[in-house]
Amino acid sequence: MLMACTPLAQNGKDDVRERRLEMVERQIRQRGVTDERVLDVMRSVPRERFVPADAAPRAYDDTPLAIGFGQTISQPYIVAYMTEALGVESMHRVLEIGTGSGYQAAVLGLLARDVYTVEIVPGLARGASTVLRELGYSNVQVREGDGYAGWAEHAPFDRIIVTAAPDEIPRPLIDQLAPGGRLVIPVGSQGETQWITIVERTPAGVVARRTIPVQFVPFTRGKPG
């Protein structure tokens, strides 16, 4: 029985890997993401582990997927685009607001020295923490809480990424950027065009620019009911 099962299990793993490689090539590289470090990480993180079991067959589809609690895991291209825009280096300390399933944190965990991620939905925070721990992402810390205030105890951060859309950029997140730091965040009201916005703390002050239109779930404040 063991000999019969082993090839099937390996074939399954090979099929998932092929789908992951195809995702990177067709959905990400061909759309203009060229940072080889980002592409390599997207090839290695098992996205199927970060979605509900019934959604696993669609883990590498070119679409966001529901992860429960009214939240989604972003389309693979958007994860890669925002990660490239963030410009993470190996010695950076990164703050993520909106852990969700933990997939973006896993991607960041392979690029940065330390990742601190905040999730307001208790069930998502617990689930992400469990999966990240099981997969060995020891440099990622998950905290349940309101991400509007950032994570002041560990500030300043070299990079900050937000995975839900507020109407305006939270001032505490800008204040927690280190000199030379960068924040990547979708900004805009629900039902209107939202824009990926890149904020940088430069010697001349804080500057911001918009890049591409997107559609994210709203930025949640306070304790969800």
Mean of pLDDT values over 82-109: 98
The answer to whether position 222 is within a domain reads no
Q: Is the pLDDT of residue 223 over 70?
A: no
- In angstroms, the CA 96 to CA 104 distance is 8
Q: Is the pLDDT of residue 7 over 60?
A: no
- In angstroms, the CA 38 to CA 26 distance is 15
Mean of pLDDT values over 61-82: 96
Mean of pLDDT values over 4-23: 70
The answer to whether position 221 is within a domain reads no
Give the per-residue pLDDT at 224. 44
Residue 191's pLDDT band (cuts 50, 70, 90): confident
Tens of pLDDT, residue by residue over 135-150, are 999 999 999 999 999 9
Residues 6 or more apart from 199 whose CB is under 8 A from it? Answer: 169, 174, 177, 182, 183, 184, 185, 206, 207, 208
Residue 110 is given by DSSP the state: T
Domain count, the chain: 1
Residue 71's domain comprises 2-214
Mean of pLDDT values over 168-177: 97
The answer to whether position 225 is within a domain reads no
Say what percent of the chain tops pLDDT 90: 88
CATH code of residue 86: 3.40.50.150
Pull the structure tokens for residue 44. 């290695």
The answer to whether position 111 is within a domain reads yes
Q: Is 189 one of the annotated active-site residues of the chain?
A: no
Greater confidence (222 vs 157) lies with 157
Residue 122's pLDDT band (cuts 50, 70, 90): very high
The answer to whether position 156 is within a domain reads yes
Tens of pLDDT, residue by residue over 196-220, are 999 999 999 999 999 999 999 999 8
Catalytic residue, chosen from 74, 90, 129, 138, is: 74
pTM of the model: 0.91
Give the per-residue pLDDT at 2. 33
Residues 6 or more apart from 44 whose CB is under 8 A from it? Answer: 110
Give the per-residue pLDDT at 3. 35
